[in-house]
Structure formats: C-alpha cells, structure tokens
Amino acid sequence: MTSNRTFTRFSVTVDPPRIDQIPEGGFCLSSFLVLSRVDADNEILLGKLNKEAPWERIGALDRNRAERDSDGWMLPASHLLFGESPQDAAQRILDEQLGLKTQRLEGPMIFSEMYGPKNHWDLEFVFLGKRIDPVSHSAWKELRFVDVDKLRKEDFVRSHEDILAHIGKWKG
C-alpha cells in the first residue's frame, strides 16, 4: 500500500532538494530560559528589552520588532544560529543577554506549535534554572523577577506567556 503522506524531513541530499516541505509560514527553532527565584517558584526572571541593544545579533529581532516589543515582558530567548544546538543556544543566551558565565540549567523541555493563516511552525527548547538574585544587563531596560500569577496575556510580548503555560508556570 502506498502512502500519500508527506513526512517532515529537511535534507539537501534529496534529489532534487525539496524546500516545499517547509510550512508556508516558515519555522523557527528557539531556546528559552525560564529562571525562577529559588524561594518563589512563581517569580520568573523576565525583561523589557532595551531597543537600542544589538537584538539582531543576540536575539534575532530586527530593529522594528525590538521597537514594537520593548514595552512588554519576555523571557531571555533567541532563535538558534544555523548549526547551533539548543544547549549551545541556551549558553549563548546566558552570556549575551544576561552576562552569566555559569548558571545550572535543566532540560530542554521541547514543545511544538503551529499557528497563523500560513501555518508558522515553532519548535521551542525550554531550559529551566533557579537563581537567588536577579541580574542586570544592558540588553534590557528592565530585568527582574516578576510574579507571573499577577500578569495578563497583554503584559507579555512575543507570546512568551505560551512558553510559561507549556511548563505549567502561567495559567492566564
């Protein structure tokens, strides 16, 4: 029996290469850091980005997106660089967005979402950690532990509330 299924496989070795297997809306591979305060699991390190920081380089956000998303809360996160592992991306985020050389992380937990009229697909690698103290970094105009139980969907940007909902940290 033959199959009329199209399996998700991205390969340049297929003759000829098939880029039509990518959803019309494209897809993103991203790592997210969810750092909870040691003594308050519902307090998560969130930031409001500094739109003047080099977000194109450290988080895959062009100038317009950085401007648009600068007033809401988001997690430290980034798309993966081409060929980068999710673990290496998490370490890069720690360094470039938080200035941390060491931070114990667990994971990743992996989630997939498809949305929008053109079926954009996100593959999300979520790393968890605990911290006693918040950090400060020039990439953020504000970076602190926030009680996510007190936030509304509208308080977040880039749909980062979805990441927290996936791991059971935000009920909405």
Domain spans of the chain, in order of start = 41-166
Band of residue 14 on the pLDDT scale cut at 50, 70, 90? low
Average the pLDDT over 58-73 and give the result. 94
pTM: 0.89
DSSP category for residue 170: -
Instruction: Round to whole Å and give the CA distance between 62 and 99.
Output: 21
Instruction: Round to whole Å and give the CA distance between 66 and 107.
Output: 27
Q: Which residue type, as a one-letter code, is found at position 104? A: R
Whether 161 contacts 170, CB under 8 Å: yes
Average the pLDDT over 160-164 and give the result. 96
SS3 assignment, position 93: helix
Q: What is the mean pLDDT of the chain?
A: 89
Q: Report the CATH fold assignment for 41-166.
A: Nucleoside Triphosphate Pyrophosphohydrolase (3.90.79)
Whether 103 contacts 135, CB under 8 Å: no
Residue-level pLDDT at 19: 55
Residue-level pLDDT at 25: 82
The larger pLDDT score, comparing residue 2 to residue 89, is at 89
With 0-12 / 13-18 / 19 or more C-beta atoms within 10 angstroms meaning exposed / middle / buried, residue 4 is: exposed
Average the pLDDT over 85-95 and give the result. 96
Q: Which residue type, as a one-letter code, is found at position 137? A: H
Instruction: Round to whole Å and give the CA distance between 24 and 19.
Output: 10
Residue 113: which residues within 8 A CB-CB, separation 6 or more? 121, 122, 124, 162
pLDDT exceeds 70 at position 13: no
